[in-house]
Amino acid sequence: MEIKEGYMPFMGYQTYYRIVGKTEEGKSPIILLHGGPGSTHNYFELLDRVAESGRAVIMYDQLGCGNSFVEGHPELWTPEIWLNELCALIDYLHIDHFHLLGQSWGGMLAIIYLIEKQAKGVKSAILSSTLSSSKLWASEQHRMIKFMSEEDQRAIAEAEAKDDFSSEAYAKANEHFMLLHCAGEVTEDSPECLRRKKRAGAEAYLHGWGPNEYTPTGTLRDYDYTDRLGEIQVPCLVMSGTNDLCTPLVAKTLYDGISDSKWHLFVGARHMPFVEQNDEYCKVLEEWMEEKEGK
């Protein structure tokens, strides 16, 4: 499968992109928006196989991480700049029709794009383990924390109360939480793209979101598009796992708010069903895009 890599000039920096395969006539490419902020495109390489169905798979490292790494500029970590970067990349690559998949924070970016830009040419959107409200997200994480051990609950509560997330007890508790609801440990048997060393955007995550998944204090703390989901004019596929950071309530909020939507729930999956249940995820994704291609 042909892979093309390159860099787009953006705001005096460089945005790395990666394109797998080519798009056949009558089909549209898919653009992937990674999570974080700051998580890199790496895990999306598990979706390279989608290109075998005859559509290019386009992914990139958002400014602040991976091959687009920048730090020491906290003023950059705003949804407006990441939105402008997405728009610039679409123009730079001369893409006039496409499917848009956003995972976690990437799904938030997709929702912002769909509502604020109302861009023509989007065949469909795939909202994967994402959210329409930071407040609801934080509330659901705190609800799930209540099922953890008293020791872990106490460590997290104390860290939040003191606004100090440096203790060893907190680090252990947060690790337990993420193992339950985000992803399993990376081992020598994990796919190479997960094992590969990456430059995560710690500064982008802290200033964009916050110190952890349940304490949004960054520029996205007031993100809330729940009451505007009805403005989305393209069909949307909501995908999430039963053990996901994106709880069924968060996913159902998206499904209920978007008029032309479908929801696929992956039983037993955490925050990255495309990793844990890759075969099913790719099958559902490819069938969805084929169905929406002509609409």
User: Which CATH number does the domain housing residue 235 bear?
Assistant: 3.40.50.1820
Range 225-252 average pLDDT: 98
In a domain, 167, yes or no: no
Q: Give the other-Cβ count within 10 Å of 53's Cβ.
A: 17
**Using CA atoms, how far apart are residues 57 and 30, in angstroms rounded to an integer?**
5
> pLDDT band for position 40 (50/70/90)?
very high
Q: Are 103 and 34 in contact (CB under 8 A)?
A: yes
**Using CA atoms, how far apart are residues 210 and 202, in angstroms rounded to an integer?**
10
List, for residues 257-288, the tens digit of each pLDDT value: 999 999 999 999 999 999 999 999 999 999 99
In a domain, 160, yes or no: no
In a domain, 220, yes or no: yes
Q: Domain range spanning residue 224?
A: 3-134+191-292
Catalytic residue among 28, 39, 68, 104: 104
Active site residue 261: no
Average pLDDT, the chain: 97
Domain count, the chain: 1
With a CB cutoff of 8 Å and minimum separation 6, the contacts of 241 are 129, 265, 266, 267, 268, 269, 270, 271, 273, 276
At 2 the pLDDT is 95
Percent of the chain past pLDDT 70, that is, above it, reads: 99
Range 28-45 average pLDDT: 98
Residue 293 has pLDDT above 90, yes or no: no
In a domain, 141, yes or no: no
List, for residues 180-220, the tens digit of each pLDDT value: 999 999 999 999 999 999 999 999 999 999 999 999 999 99
Active site residue 134: no
> pLDDT band for position 118 (50/70/90)?
confident
Residue 127 has pLDDT above 60, yes or no: yes
Q: Are 129 and 240 in contact (CB under 8 A)?
A: yes
Range 28-52 average pLDDT: 98
Tokens of 247: 């709880």
Range 233-245 average pLDDT: 97
Active site residue 222: no
Residue 94 has pLDDT above 60, yes or no: yes
Closest CA to 111 of 253, 244, 9: 253
In a domain, 161, yes or no: no
Prediction pTM value: 0.97
User: CA 256: distance to chain centroid?
Assistant: 20
Q: Give the other-Cβ count within 10 Å of 112's Cβ.
A: 19
Residue 59 has pLDDT above 60, yes or no: yes
At 182 the pLDDT is 98
**Using CA atoms, how far apart are residues 138 and 218, in angstroms rounded to an integer?**
13
At 294 the pLDDT is 65
Tokens of 158: 């104390």
Range 143-150 average pLDDT: 98
Q: Give the other-Cβ count within 10 Å of 85's Cβ.
A: 22
In a domain, 25, yes or no: yes
Percent of the chain past pLDDT 90, that is, above it, reads: 98
In a domain, 108, yes or no: yes
In a domain, 183, yes or no: no
Residue 160 has pLDDT above 90, yes or no: yes
At 119 the pLDDT is 78
**Using CA atoms, how far apart are residues 74 and 265, in angstroms rounded to an integer?**
36
Catalytic residue among 152, 181, 244, 261: 244
